[in-house]
Amino acid sequence: MYVNISEEEIQKIVQNVVQNVVGDKSVTTNQSPKGDWGVFDDMNDAIEAASQAFLKYEEFDIQDRKRFVDAVRRVAMDFKEEFSRMAVEQTGMGRVEHKITKHINVAKYASGVEFLQPSAHSGKFGLAIDEFSPWGVIGNISPSTHPSPTMLENIISQLSGGNTIVFNPHPVAKRLNALVIQRCNQYIVKEGGPENLVTCVAEPTLESAQVMFGHPKTKLLSVTGGPGVVEAAMKFSKPIVAAGPGNPPVLVDETADLQLAVKEITESASFDNNILCIAEKEIFVVDSVFNEFMRLFEKQGNKKLVGSQMDQLAQKALEKNGKHYFISRKHVGKNANVLARDLGMTISEDVPMLFGETDRDHPWVVAEQMTSCIPVVRVKNFEDGLECSLKAEHGFEHTASIFTQDLTRATIFSKKLKTDVLVINGGSLRGNGGMTGEGSFSHTIASPTGQGITNPRDFVRRRRIMTAHALRFV
């Protein structure tokens, strides 16, 4: 008796049999699994497809890569409104207009192939050339806080480096992230590129993340998220670019331009409702200018909480896990007027932030709150503020900022804090580059693994070729 069975089904059956026999999920055939423009039901298939795509991608040169990367930049621009609206709908975090800005930053300022210039060394022993070479398939985790910008920017960096990419996206943004991947593949294929340069799993889970971390075909991991996921990924003995949490303090001393400080801090800390890891999370102000700072911060449009209101809101919005405070999911990235409702207050949705005085060990100071409420702490002097900033930053060495006219203090502050991003007399967001800062732009700030603000060089291997006793031609 004959049964009608497609070649694809035979392929799957053979693969399953082989996997059952050898117990190795990475066993493959030479045919790429079929997905929907890069979206797969199974993480093993997503990795296999990206691995097959890598073999094809290797055949293209760096100018082709630039063309495909430019196609991804166009995806960011063409779909910025749609992606931003979807992000707010699916995650319930942030503000659409700010998310649009993030997409423009990625499209225009994320660094590309220009970061990968080779270098040559010639001398009496011959000629050596150092080049940047791809890893192969890079396994990525993207956060809920900037689902599409982080994804697009990592795609730009990693494709620039000649890699192919698999994602285990954050479950709350899985539909948006799948769409981003489909659009990127469609645009790349239209430019003559191979299919499946970027893949993901349709239903990301902790288990599919573990498969991705441990799979022999993911050669490098790129993980953005909170402490849990960074710790989980670092357990695998694999090279990793890990962008973990921050809790950026800002110190305002008595020499600071207070008008500038309140304007810059308000714009930066309220951007996308404070969900950026780089945004100010607590403000330390020297006692002699504290009252004036509070007055100006309110005048800037922020709503001051008084009496026990900061405590009351902390009880609703912050939770404790052992010794650590963290923000409850349903309070992350909320508008100030939404948080104010928890206190029975009605305020305009244009209010950038709630703020109030707390002590230095208050849960609002300790937690990475990522929402529109910021604590302000009175410190005795610069030295006291420095100590408080060090403690509040928790040794993440991520981001910090200072407002002062005293450059010696600014230097001491930056030396002690040792953060990847240190901003002087500006909102900490300016440290990200893009349209309000200098330097290359990235939302991926890899503090635990030391790459800092990432660029394509963080996603390549450095290799050397040396011709001995020849080719020095001068």
Binding positions for ligand NAD, rule: CB under 6 A: 141, 143-146, 170-171, 206, 209, 224-226, 228-229, 232, 243-246, 277, 368, 443-445
Least spacing, CB of residue 93 vs ligand NAD, in Å:
9
Least spacing, CB of residue 7 vs ligand NAD, in Å:
35
Please give the distance of CA 225 from its chain centroid, rounded to a whole number.
Answer: 7
Least spacing, CB of residue 396 vs ligand NAD, in Å:
9
Q: Which two tokens stand for residue 393?
A: 């930053």
How far apart CA 23 and CA 40 sit, in angstroms, is 21
The strand pair at 445-446 and 452-453 is best described as: antiparallel
**Do 45 and 211 meet the contact criterion of CB atoms below 8 Å apart?**
no
CB nearer to ligand NAD: pick between 84 and 224: 224
**Which residues, listed in sequence order, are joined to residue 200 by a DSSP beta bridge?**
39, 167
Is residue 461 packed enough to be buried (19+ CB in 10 Å), middle (13-18) or exposed (0-12)? middle
**Which residues, listed in sequence order, are joined to residue 240 by a DSSP beta bridge?**
221
Least spacing, CB of residue 473 vs ligand NAD, in Å:
45
Least spacing, CB of residue 284 vs ligand NAD, in Å:
20
CB nearer to ligand NAD: pick between 222 and 309: 222
The strand pair at 460-468 and 126-134 is best described as: antiparallel
CB nearer to ligand NAD: pick between 229 and 261: 229
Closest CA to 433 of 402, 462, 399, 408: 399
CB nearer to ligand NAD: pick between 211 and 256: 211
Angle at 365 between CA 317 and CA 428, to 5 degrees: 105
CB nearer to ligand NAD: pick between 40 and 290: 40
Q: Taking every pair of C-alpha atoms in the chain, what is the biggest distance, in angstroms? A: 92
Least spacing, CB of residue 244 vs ligand NAD, in Å:
5
CB nearer to ligand NAD: pick between 254 and 397: 397
How far apart CA 468 and CA 60 sit, in angstroms, is 29
Closest CA to 197 of 189, 206, 207: 189
How far apart CA 173 and CA 89 sit, in angstroms, is 9
Least spacing, CB of residue 151 vs ligand NAD, in Å:
11
CB nearer to ligand NAD: pick between 274 and 300: 274
Position with the least CB separation from ligand NAD: 225
